[in-house]
C-alpha cells in the first residue's frame, strides 16, 4: 500500500521527489477538506450577518481564544475570581499556541488574535494531510480522501477555523502517530513533545509512542532479537523518540507546579475551573439529570452519542486498527468522557480523535463514488448549518 513515505527509506528524511509525489496524491483530500471548511465559513458569514454579529469576532475573540490572546500579549499570571468563589487561572492553557501567536504578531502586522486564527487555518490543512496519509496507508487513496472530508464535516468542525488549539494539536498528534506507524521514532517523539505543549491531551500522543515502542521491543525480543541488538541503529532512534515524547507535557505541568509551589499545581488550576477527572461520574450524573428533566430529548441524544463513539472505537480495534492509532484514539476518548465540567465542550474535546472516523472512511470507500460523496455532501451541509447556529448562540465553552 502506498503512503507518504513510500519512496523513502524508513527513518530517513524525505527527498524532494517523494515530497512532490506525496503532495500530488494528497491534493484531492486537501481540496475536499478546503471545500467543506469553505462552505462552513460562508454559512457562518451569512448567518452572522443576518444576526448582526461579526463572523471574525466569533472566530477570534470569544471563550478560550481570549485567554490564549491574553497569554500571548501579557504572559501568564491572569486570574478571575467568579461570584461563586471559583478561580479561573490562565495557567490552565498550554503555551504553544500563545507562543506562536506572540511570535507571528511580532513578525507580521497581525494582532495576536488574528495570528491565532492564522495558526489554526494553517494547522488544519496540515492535520488533514496527515489524515489523508494515514487513511491512504491503511485503506487506500479513496479512504484517505474520505477521512479528511469526514473530519472537516464533523458537527463541531467550525472549531478547526477558530483561534483555538484543536487544529494545531491535531496536526502535531496526527503526524506524530503517522511517524510511529512508519518507524520515524525521533520525529514521533519530537511531535509528541510539541503536542504535549499544546493541550493536556498531549499525553495521548505520548502513550501512543511509548506503548507502540514497548510492544515493538517485546515482539522483537520474543522473536529472538538480543538485548544488545536493541541498542543499535533503529532501536537507538526508538529510544531517543521515547525519551523526547513526554518532555513538552511534563515541562509545562512541572513548571506550573513550581510556580504554584505544589507538585499538584496543574491539577489545582484545573480544579479552579471545575475540570479534572472523576471516571465519568459527573458526566453520568449530568446525563441522568437531562433524562429526568424537561430536556429529555437531549438526555436521550447524549448516551446515544457516547454509545456511537465507543462503538466506532471498538469496531476499529476489532478490524485490526494499528496499535498507535488504537492507543491514541482510545486515550483521547477516555480523557474526554471521564473529564468533569463543561459537558457541552465534550464534542470539541473529541475533535482530535480522528482514528474513530477510520472505519467510516473505509466503509464509504467501498461504496460507489456518487453515493459516498452524496453522504459527505449532506453531512457537510449539516455541519455548516450547525456550526453557524452554534457560534451565533452558546458556542464552545
In tens, the pLDDT along 250-284 reads 999 999 999 999 989 999 999 888 787 776 677 77
**pLDDT band for position 225 (cuts 50, 70, 90):** low
The beta-carbon contacts of 174-179 under 8 Å, at least 24 apart in sequence, are 174/127, 174/130, 174/131, 174/134, 174/352, 174/354, 175/126, 175/130, 176/205, 176/208, 176/209, 177/130, 177/134, 177/205, 177/208, 177/324, 177/325, 177/328, 178/4, 178/130, 178/133, 178/134, 178/137
pLDDT in tens, 76-97: 999 998 888 788 999 999 999 9
Higher-confidence residue of 394 and 318: namely 318
Start-to-end C-alpha separation, the chain: 41
Helix, strand, coil percentages, rounded to 5, for the chain: 75, 0, 25
| Dist CA 303 CA 296 (whole Å) | 12
- Higher-scoring residue by pLDDT: 170, 289: 170
pLDDT for residue 18: 62
Q: Which residue has the higher pLDDT, 160 or 10?
A: 160
Mean pLDDT, to the nearest integer, of 130-135? 96
Question: pLDDT tens digit string along 368-388?
Answer: 999 999 999 999 999 999 999
Better-predicted residue by pLDDT, 99 or 233: 99
* Per-residue pLDDT band at 14 (split at 50, 70, 90): very low
pLDDT at residue 230 greater than cutoff 60:
no
Whether the per-residue pLDDT at 359 is higher than 60: the answer is: yes
Question: What is the C-alpha separation between 63 and 95, in angstroms, rounded?
Answer: 16
DSSP string, 266-288: HHHHHHHTT-SB-TTHHHHHHHH
The pLDDT, as a whole number, for residue 340 is 79
Q: In the predicted model, is pLDDT for residue 285 greater than 80?
A: no
- According to the model, what pLDDT value does residue 10 have? 44
Residue 386 and residue 380 in contact, taking contact as beta carbons nearer than 8 Å: no
pLDDT of residue 345: 79
Q: Mean per-residue pLDDT for 233-257? A: 93
- Which comes out higher in pLDDT, residue 389 or 86? 389
Residue 23's pLDDT is what? 76
Q: Is the pLDDT of residue 286 over 90?
A: no
Nearest to 89 by CA among 114, 103, 71, 72: 71
Does residue 397 register a pLDDT over 70? no
Q: What percent of the chain has pLDDT over 90?
A: 71
Q: Residue 299's pLDDT is what?
A: 66
Question: pLDDT class for 137, splitting at 50, 70, 90?
Answer: very high
DSSP string computed for 334-368: HHHHHB-S-GGGHHHHTTT-GGGGHHHHHHHHTS-
Mean pLDDT throughout 133-146?
96
Of the listed ranges 71-85, 114-128, 242-256, the one predicted with least confidence? 71-85
DSSP single-letter state for residue 396: -
| Burial class of 256 by CB neighbour count within 10 A (0 to 12, 13 to 18, 19+) | buried
Instruction: List the single range of 3-12, 193-202, 374-383, 388-397 with lowest mean pLDDT.
Output: 3-12
**Model confidence, pTM:** 0.91
What percentage of the chain carries pLDDT values higher than 70?
A: 88
Q: How confident is the model at residue 298 (pLDDT cuts 50, 70, 90)?
A: low
**Is pLDDT of 5 > 60?**
no
Instruction: Please check the confidence at residue 343 and state whether its pLDDT lies above 70.
Output: no
- The phi, psi pair for 256, rounded to 5°, reads -65, -40
Q: What does the block give as the cell for 3?
A: 503512503
State CA 279 to chain mean position distance: 21
What is the reported pLDDT for 231? 56
Q: State the pLDDT at residue 84.
A: 80
Which tens digit of pLDDT belongs to each residue from 36-51? 999 999 999 999 999 9
Residue 11: per-residue pLDDT = 44
Give yes or no for a contact between 191 and 209, defined as CB atoms under 8 angstroms apart: no
Q: Where are the domains of the chain?
A: 16-276+341-347+373-391, 277-340
Q: Dihedral angle at the C-alpha atoms of 144, 139, 167, 307, nearest 10 degrees?
A: 120
In the prediction, which pLDDT does 120 show?
A: 97
Amino acid at each position: 500500500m502506498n503512503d507518504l513515505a513510500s519512496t523513502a527509506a524508513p527513518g530517513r528524511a524525505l527527498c524532494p521527489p517523494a515530497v512532490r509525489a506525496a503532495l500530488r496524491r494528497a491534493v484531492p483530500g486537501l481540496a475536499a477538506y478546503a471545500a467543506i471548511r469553505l462552505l462552513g465559513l460562508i454559512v457562518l458569514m451569512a448567518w452572522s450577518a443576518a444576526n448582526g454579529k461579526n463572523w471574525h469576532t466569533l472566530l477570534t475573540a470569544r471563550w478560550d481564544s481570549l485567554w490564549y490572546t491574553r497569554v500571548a500579549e501579557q504572559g501568564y499570571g491572569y486570574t478571575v475570581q467568579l461570584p461563586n468563589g471559583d478561580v479561573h487561572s490562565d495557567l490552565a492553557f498550554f503555551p504553544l499556541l500563545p507562543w506562536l501567536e506572540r511570535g507571528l504578531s511580532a513578525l507580521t502586522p497581525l494582532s495576536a488574535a488574528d495570528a491565532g486564527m492564522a495558526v489554526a487555518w494553517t494547522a488544519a490543512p496540515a492535520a488533514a494531510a496527515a489524515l489523508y496519509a494515514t487513511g491512504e496507508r491503511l485503506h487506500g487513496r479513496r479512504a484517505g480522501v474520505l477521512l479528511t472530508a469526514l473530519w472537516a464535516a464533523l458537527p463541531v468542525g467550525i472549531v478547526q477555523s477558530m483561534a483555538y488549539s484543536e487544529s494545531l494539536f491535531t496536526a502535531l498528534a496526527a503526524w506524530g502517530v503517522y511517524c510511529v506507524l512508519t518507524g520515524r521514532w525521533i520525529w514521533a517523539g519530537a511531535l509528541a513533545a510539541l503536542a504535549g505543549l499544546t493541550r493536556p491531551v498531549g499525553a495521548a500522543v505520548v502513550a501512543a509512542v511509548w506503548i507502540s515502542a514497548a510492544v515493538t521491543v517485546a515482539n522483537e525480543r520474543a522473536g529472538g532479537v538480543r538485548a544488545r541488538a536493541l541498542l543499535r541503529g533503529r532501536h537507538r532512534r526508538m529510544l531517543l523518540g521515547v525519551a523526547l515524547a513526554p518532555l513538552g507535557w511534563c515541562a509545562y505541568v512541572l513548571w506550573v507546579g513550581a510556580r504554584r509551589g505544589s507538585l499538584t499545581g496543574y491539577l489545582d488550576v484545573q480544579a479552579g475551573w471545575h475540570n479534572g477527572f472523576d471516571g465519568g461520574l459527573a458526566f453520568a450524573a449530568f446525563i441522568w439529570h437531562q433524562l429526568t428533566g424537561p430536556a429529555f430529548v437531549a438526555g436521550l441524544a447524549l448516551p446515544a452519542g457516547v454509545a456511537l463513539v465507543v462503538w466506532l472505537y471498538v469496531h476499529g480495534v476489532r478490524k485490526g486498527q494499528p496499535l498507535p492509532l488504537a492507543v491514541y484514539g482510545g486515550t483521547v476518548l477516555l480523557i474526554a468522557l471521564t473529564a468533569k465540567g463543561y459537558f457541552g465542550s465534550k464534542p470539541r474535546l473529541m475533535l482530535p480523535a480522528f482514528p474513530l472516523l477510520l472505519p467510516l472512511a473505509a466503509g464509504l470507500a467501498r461504496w460507489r463514488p456518487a453515493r459516498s460523496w452524496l453522504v459527505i455532501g449532506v453531512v457537510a451541509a449539516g455541519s455548516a448549518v450547525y456550526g453557524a447556529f452554534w457560534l451565533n448562540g452558546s458556542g464552545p465553552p
